[in-house]
Amino acid sequence: MSAEAAASFVQQWRAARPLRDLALRFLPADETGVPLLLALEFELFGILHLSAAPQVAGAKLAWWAEELAGFGTPAARHPLSLALAADARAARVPVALWPQAAVSLLRALEAPASADFAAQLQAAEVMAEPFARIECAFVFGAQADCARTRRVLAVQHLSSELLQAPQRTAQGRMPLSMQSLARHALARAQLDQPGAARAVALAEQCAALAAALHGADDLPGPVNGLRAAEAAHDRRALSRAARVAEPLQTLLAQRQGLTLTAAFASWRAARSAARTQRRMRGEP
């Protein structure tokens, strides 16, 4: 029963973006457990991105911190926890990292607005650190450098926050830095209202995120095939959103769409990541 329940969470993760079904076709046969891990991350980040109120998100994340503190023990209850613990690769992950992932999101929920984009990206990477370490240890082994995966996760988080800009503003959270607001003479309340200054600020944020994702290529460490496919797609989506009058609408459409160009880029990224995985395992 728990296996079926875990599969339903994987299906929710797959349904959130059409790209994922395509990327799964490029996944090596021995990596079928990876979607379970990504579904767990999707569940946790979804609480941060989609919850209607900070109090609701905080309560849910606190529950997950307790749940993951019991990872691999009889105290664990969630189907994803149980399914992942049954995978031999979970033993590669330091036990303390599992609850740290939920705690890092709790801290992000309470964090003040960042002064500028550099500080915003740094805070996102700090938040993404335990997730990146879990992901790299699970897929590649405990010694794998997680710097590149951490950057990709951070940019994906900030992109999701940007897509929720109106809701974030109503909840008192800021998807843009204070410097960006000051540069464009924007008040917090204006982020949920269409306007020229808002559009320019959002486009600048998309351009900065695309550049940060491009910079991930120069960081050490591997990225698993599914994550690499998403990063290639997100980079194109952010770059296109940075050049239009309605950045958020374009970013959402790009993320939810799947062109032949995007399919080819995803295939290429996934193949490259698969070669890295084989090389790290000492395979030809």
**Contact indicator for 246, 199 with CB cutoff of 8 Å:** yes
Q: Is the pLDDT of residue 281 over 70?
A: no
Q: CB 204: neighbour CB atoms within 10 A?
A: 17
Q: Which of 92, 102, 103, 99 lies closest to 135, judged by CA?
A: 92
What is the reported pLDDT for 12? 94
Q: Is the pLDDT of residue 171 over 70?
A: no
The count of domains in the chain is: 1
What is the reported pLDDT for 254? 85
Residue 252 DSSP SS3? helix
What is the reported pLDDT for 64? 97
Which domain range does residue 263 map to? 2-280
The torsion angles phi and psi of 133, rounded to 5 degrees, stand at -65, -40
pLDDT digits (tens, 9 = 90+) for 126-165: 999 999 999 999 998 989 999 999 999 999 999 998 988 7
pLDDT digits (tens, 9 = 90+) for 177-189: 999 999 999 887 7
**CATH code assigned at 152:** 1.10.600.10
What is the reported pLDDT for 4? 87
Q: Is the pLDDT of residue 49 over 60?
A: yes
What is the reported pLDDT for 78? 95
- Residues 75-79 have a mean pLDDT of 94
pLDDT digits (tens, 9 = 90+) for 31-41: 668 999 999 99
Q: Which of 199, 192, 172, 176 lies closest to 115, judged by CA?
A: 176
- Nearest-angstrom CA–CA distance, 173 and 181: 13
**Contact indicator for 137, 94 with CB cutoff of 8 Å:** yes
